[in-house]
Amino acid sequence: MDYKFIPLLLKDRIATYGERTALGYKDKVLNSWLTISWNEMGRRIDSISRALIHADVGEQEMVGIFSNNMPEWTISDFALMNVRAVSIPIYSTDPVSSVSYIIRETEMKLIFVGEQEQYNKILQVIAESGNELKIVVFDERVDLKDYKNALYFKQFYADEADAETDQIIQNRLNSLTTEDITTILYTSGTTGEAKGVVLLYRNFDSFLKIHDAYLTKVDDKDISLAFLPLSHIFERAWTLFALHKGVTINYLSNPAGVVEALKVIQPTMMCTVPRFFEKIYNVINEKVATSSVVKRRIFRWAFRVGKRVMNYNRQGKTAPLHDRMLLKIADKLVLAKGREAFGGRIRYMPCSGAMLPDNINIFFQSAGVHIIYAYGMTETLATVTAYPFINYKFGTVGKPLPFIDIKIGEGGEILIKEDSLFKEYYKKPEETKQAFVDGWFRTGDAGEFDNDGNLIMKERIKDLIKTSGGKYVAPQLIESVISAEPFIEQVVVIGDERKYLTALIVPSFQALEEYAEKLKIEFKTREELINHSKIVQMMKEKLHKVQKDLASYQKVKKFKLLHTEFSIHTGEFTSTLKIKRRIIAQKFKKFIDEMYKD
């Protein structure tokens, strides 16, 4: 199959699926889920394509998309491809400084924005820079505040066919080349300035070929929920692949509404990150811990049965009849209820972006939730390794996908060579040069292969902690172990050039407040609660228990409880929720220094 040009591929899918549902979304005014057919999506893409021509958007011109997930995001993206322009996605939660930097570097003149929060940020950028921008707003409830160069998405439409404009669009489609830029995605660096990752049509051509060869079980009966931000390569690439396969995409504009959306949409597939599973795991375990002795025993028995059968299944074997019979009982009593948390119809859930603790992975796999744990980056156009459908191995991120070469370089660094590799970092030739060695992309991640060809992800090389005793410690591994404790919401491990490890911990305040109520601990503020001697002692015990299998040098010796969460807005996380360790070390220096006073 020829995948070279996405807009041409999409036209073929529209012709194939016609009046079938392509997209779904929750209308915030009607408070109900609505759908858009393939034909209607095609009409809207054509309308926006004409509008872009009327707005004098040139070939390979940069145009921003600054919005939460919604159909208009994807429609605008495809329309930009139609007119041979370049989409520049911006995370809807990005601060004004980041937005301003991206707009300035790409020299964009037009930007699509989603809701009031994003619109206000763009107005601030305009006020501070003095540069005019044409703003097209998706949500009609946004107050445009008399800015003369703004209009709503539906006002931007050019519905009526115009032979001259349509011919211009066709000419642009005919002139597309595989070396044309499709999109530039800005990676939110943990150590420095964001970099624009330039992706070409040939990269997407390769991406579709790779995933067609790997994800052979995805078909047009599947339903996906777009939960992660479309500005992230994982959801963006998945949505593109899913539409290529005829899958219906449902957009979740606010991740906080995921529980309700799962019940309504009942997706068969959905991209996730490890933190999503960690939160559900903690909620389930909190409920089990407060249930009766009998219910706890039934729960543990059911998961033992599920785990036994799962281990046969993942090896491509059939479990013994006795275990299969027991599984039916375990499923009815417990396991099916666990799957209901995901809507009840889930077939598989691609998961990437951070370390997924083995105990959590095994827990959900045992309940019949097939997690496709994977590894990839923006520069590699998402996934490069993933669990195979059988013979996957816990403690790894799976095997290289078809047509992808991976080797381990100097210092254990993972090196990648494939056709879907990005072209360059936009306007950053020196950084681009440093990212490659002999044609291999340097991921900055440390890893190794096991004897079966599975990749074991170790750590971001820049994040490795070297203690004063000379031991190298992978903080993400320890953080994933500690965060599996239901009383812990967030954790950052400290210890570079120190004699032992410490941690900054944000507790799960819901669990903590319920615990305090049981012990009749009185408190007025969260700060007062976390400093109570009984709370500190309880957390010491929890930390000791959860770290029991770690080596001595990997164990956190001291910790500090914090009363506010780390967040994107306060600067501790990147837009993809990666930890900014340098920022945290500076911001919480006082607390950190106190933990090393002997």
> DSSP H helical segments within 130-232, as ranges?
153-156, 163-174, 201-214
**Hey, CA dihedral for 307, 309, 311, 314, is it positive or negative?**
negative
Please check whether residue 219 is in contact with residue 242, taking contact to mean a CB–CB distance below 8 angstroms.
no
Please check whether residue 411 is in contact with residue 266, taking contact to mean a CB–CB distance below 8 angstroms.
no
CA distance 486 to 479: 13
Q: Which helix (H) or strand (E) holds 44?
A: helix 38-54
Q: Which of 205, 576, 210 is nearest to 386 (CA)?
A: 210
**Hey, CA dihedral for 314, 319, 323, 325, is it positive or negative?**
positive
pLDDT at 460: 82
Please check whether residue 261 is in contact with residue 252, taking contact to mean a CB–CB distance below 8 angstroms.
yes
pLDDT at 282: 86
Q: What does DSSP say about strands 195-200 and 382-386: parallel, antiparallel, or unpaired? A: unpaired
Structure tokens at 548: 């029991």
pLDDT at 289: 86
Structure tokens at 226: 């777009």
Q: CA geometry: angle at 411 spanning 405 and 413, to 5°?
A: 30
Structure tokens at 211: 């995933």
- What's the order of all strands across the beta sheet hosting 399-400? 349-351, 371-377, 382-386, 399-400
Angle between helices 533-546 and 509-518 (to 10 degrees): 120
pLDDT at 324: 96
Please check whether residue 560 is in contact with residue 505, taking contact to mean a CB–CB distance below 8 angstroms.
yes
> DSSP H helical segments within 83-162, as ranges?
96-106, 116-129, 153-156
What is the biggest distance separating any 2 CA atoms in the chain, rounded to whole angstroms? 79
Question: Following DSSP, what letter does each residue of 429-475 receive, concatenated?
Answer: HHHHHHTEETTEEEEEEEEEE-TTS-EEEEEEGGG-EE-TTS-EE-H
Please check whether residue 398 is in contact with residue 392, taking contact to mean a CB–CB distance below 8 angstroms.
yes
CA distance 147 to 127: 11
CA distance 230 to 356: 22
Q: Which of 320, 313, 448 is nearest to 388 (CA)?
A: 313
Q: Which of 479, 481, 513, 472 is nearest to 584 (CA)?
A: 479
Coil vs helix vs strand at 144? coil
- What's the order of all strands across the beta sheet hosting 488-494? 488-494, 501-507, 556-561
Please check whether residue 245 is in contact with residue 220, taking contact to mean a CB–CB distance below 8 angstroms.
yes
CA distance 364 to 370: 7
Question: CA dihedral in degrees (11, 12, 13, 16; nearest 10)?
Answer: 120
pLDDT at 68: 97
Those residues with Cβ within 8 angstroms of residue 216's Cβ, 6 or more apart along the chain or in another chain: none
pLDDT at 226: 97
Domains of the chain are 6-176+228-253 (3.40.50.12780), 274-341+348-461 (3.40.50.12780), 464-595 (3.30.300.30)
Those residues with Cβ within 8 angstroms of residue 206's Cβ, 6 or more apart along the chain or in another chain: 381, 403, 418, 419, 420
323 CB-side CA count, 13 A: 16
Please state whether 152 falls in left (phi above 0), alpha (psi between -120 and 50) or beta: beta
**Hey, CA dihedral for 541, 530, 493, 495, is it positive or negative?**
negative
Please check whether residue 533 is in contact with residue 569, taking contact to mean a CB–CB distance below 8 angstroms.
no
CA distance 91 to 527: 32
Please check whether residue 444 is in contact with residue 413, taking contact to mean a CB–CB distance below 8 angstroms.
yes
Those residues with Cβ within 8 angstroms of residue 288's Cβ, 6 or more apart along the chain or in another chain: 295, 296, 299
pLDDT at 190: 53
Show the low-confidence residues of the chain (pLDDT under 50).
Answer: none
pLDDT at 214: 95
Those residues with Cβ within 8 angstroms of residue 20's Cβ, 6 or more apart along the chain or in another chain: 37, 38, 220, 246, 248
Q: Which of 498, 469, 506, 507 is nearest to 593 (CA)?
A: 498
How does DSSP classify residue 57?
A: P
Structure tokens at 521: 């601990």
pLDDT at 27: 94
